[in-house]
Chain A
Amino acid sequence: MLNVEGLHAAVGDRPILRGVELTLRPGEVHALMGPNGSGKSTLVHVLAGRPGYRVTAGRATLDGVDLLAMEPEQRAGAGVFLGFQHPVEIPGVSQQLFLKTALNALRRRRGEAELDASDCRERILRATRSIGLEESILSRSVNAGFSGGEKKQNELLQMATLTPRLALLDEMDSGLDIDALARVSQGIQALRGPDRAILLVTHHQRMLDWVVPDRVHVMIEGRIVLSGGSDLARELERRGYGWLMEEAA
């Protein structure tokens, strides 16, 4: 489904990704771990099309379609969803309007008919309940004044509404207390599906107790240096990244 081959990317003249190889199949959840600054977040942002990064070599395809040639909104149309580590506050834009606009924009891109107001609302309400959020969150402005946990859950609400094929979730566990972490993790677990692949970027193993990944990858200095099963996350928790960094050097 997602194939990343020899991907190199830079910010300005500074190389960050130095030959990433990664394959995700439908239904799989992969965790991407690694020390700060290793390039994990850069990888998901490059895949989602964030401006400011320059791809210098390599390929990334979703179901055989070249992702890197597309604008961010076209990638969303192709089924890519980026869950932000720091979701953006947009005062004055209601969640309801935002979700409805995004949902219909994606439907148009996929060649589907737009949903009318009541079908939209029904779809959004169902997604809201599935994430365990109160309906009242829909009348608030996008992320404005949300707690850390609410922001992360709100990313999942968008994911549940927009039903992407590929979800790239960037550090959904950062800055959460243990209760919020449990809620967000359960949300992600509920969004697993046979047709959907999820790439979880995380620093810590905590979240992986709830969302048990099919594969765990370790990124160091812009490359995936080690991949393994879910046990690898526990080993990393125990041993840290030092031994891998030495090997990589």
Chain B
Amino acid sequence: MNATEVQDSYVGQFQDHAEREARRPPPWLRRDRAGAMDRFVVAGFPTRRMEAWKYDVLAPVTEEPFILSEPSCIGLDPEDLDPLLLNRGEGAHLVFVNGWFAPTLSAGSALPRGVRMGGMARRMAADPAELLPAFSNEEAQPDHGFTELNRAMWQDGAFVQLGPELDPEWTVQLLFLNSESLEPLLIQPRNLLMVEAGCRARVVETHLSLGRSAHFTNAWTTLLLERGAHLDYQLWLDGGPHARHIGSMRVTQAADSVLEAGLFALGGRLTRQEVEVNLSEPGAECRLHGLLAATAHQQVDFHLNVRHAASSTTSHQEFRGLADGHGRGIFNGRVWVAPGVREIVSGQTTRNMLLSPEAEIDAKPQLEIHADDVQCVHGATVGSPDEEALFYLRSRGLDGQTALALLVEAFVGDVLNRGEPEPLRDWMKQRFNAWRASP
């Protein structure tokens, strides 16, 4: 099937979806969806002729049709989830199966004061007016075919609102779990996370798979940090070797808010995560770190766009890329500084390691600075493991494989060891080691 035929299949599914939508949506949402579909029809899927997509091979999502997922019963018991859950202490988890909120698998009935969370579909049915501002925020509008597709046909997702009295140790895990199914599914979560003024919060979003399914997750997440909010956010994309994942995240940060975010993607047939951070008021700060890793014929792409729209804003990016086999990694880190703003500090480092001659990583820092009072440091490297270090380790009796594993562990440790709290770090290391050991 070619991209146009796939696009046509989504037009058809959109009409069915609109007719079947169980809870009648408010008129503004119907218009919003229809407008997005119209734009998707005109724009189509992005292509490699577009600068922002020139390294991506999109065939895994544009040349096969995916069927919009339906709520399904997968016969899981809450205890089946134990190995996938991070919370050993205080916190709550929301579980989504094929994109649909699964209340019976989720826990967190005794929510602290000021915390509201649950499925987006229910939220929309209960109080659409509350969601209107976030959904119509012009700063956070889609800008390519995939986000339009989500906007036209999102079904469910996470709604999380965290209030100022929250204990900072209290952790929310959003667990997106894809199940095995006969048909490859189109899974479209629409997530909204709001961190209220002065709140310190921790959110971990994990995308995992129960089988070896080749579903396509097309996610769109809006993150709003109010004045003085502090969010520690970890995104873990680990849906297995066949997973397709295109995620778009838009962050808007008010004055003096701090976002500490870890972005981790372990393989997948095609994984692309976009993060746009708008530092829209003075004192806003974001610190992003993460790892993209690809092996076999996997493709992982991080597209970051940090926008210094106000004076006295700060951003740091520290990323690692690892590619083995025929794996491909893409790192595009854009930093944009608005004309006339002052006292900007921005740093970006990306280090990339190739473990096979066929592996490839394209690392592209992109600085667009339209102001003078800017301290900006960036660096990008791509290379093989240090031969000298390998020989050093082997001369001490370590075989080549163990020596390499130690160097890789050290290389990714820079970013993997930043997760808080400790059980999260351990969980991440376990998942990473499992990924390295998988064929």
Assembled-state Cα–Cα distance A102/B392 (Å): 11
Check if A230 is an interface residue, CB within 8 A of chain B: no
Cβ-defined contact, A105 with B402, below 8 A: yes
Check if B399 is an interface residue, CB within 8 A of chain A: yes
Contact flags A38-53 to B (C-beta < 8 A → 1, else 0) = 0000000000111100
Instruction: Known A88-B386, A98-B406, A105-B402; judge A77-B397 contact (CB<8 A).
Output: yes
Q: Which residues of A contact B411 (CB under 8 A)?
A: 92
Main secondary structure on B side of the interface with A: helix
Q: Which residues of B contact A105 (CB under 8 A)?
A: 396-399, 402
Cβ-defined contact, A90 with B398, below 8 A: no
Cβ-defined contact, B397 with A71, below 8 A: no
Check if B63 is an interface residue, CB within 8 A of chain A: no
Q: Which residue of A lies closest to B408 (CB)?
A: A92
Cβ-defined contact, A51 with B391, below 8 A: yes
Check if B130 is an interface residue, CB within 8 A of chain A: no
Cβ-defined contact, B397 with A73, below 8 A: yes
Which residues of chain B from 385 to 419 have a CB within 8 Å of any chain A CB?
Answer: 386-389, 391-400, 402-403, 406-407, 409-411, 413-414
Assembled-state Cα–Cα distance A72/B398 (Å): 9
Assembled-state Cα–Cα distance A209/B396 (Å): 29
Interface size on B, residues (CB 8 A): 23
Interface residues on A, range: 20 to 34
Cβ-defined contact, B396 with A93, below 8 A: no
Q: Which residues of A contact B414 (CB under 8 A)?
A: 91-92
Which residues of chain A from 54 to 83 have a CB within 8 Å of any chain B CB?
Answer: 71-73, 75-77, 81-82
Contact with A88, one of B392, B400, B406, B409 (Cβ below 8 angstroms)? B392
Q: Which residue of A lies closest to B392 (CB)?
A: A88
Cβ-defined contact, A158 with B396, below 8 A: yes
Cβ-defined contact, B397 with A88, below 8 A: no
Instruction: Known A92-B411, A93-B409; judge A72-B389 contact (CB<8 A).
Output: no
Contact with A72, one of B386, B394, B402, B413 (Cβ below 8 angstroms)? B394
Query: How many Å from the CB of B393 to the closest CB on chain A?
Result: 8
Contact with B409, one of A49, A71, A92, A162 (Cβ below 8 angstroms)? A92
| 6 sampled A-B residue pairs with Cβ under 8 A | A71-B394, A72-B391, A73-B400, A90-B393, A97-B406, A105-B397
Name 4 extra pairs, CB < 8 A, besides A49-B395, A73-B399, A101-B398.
Answer: A87-B392, A92-B409, A93-B407, A162-B396
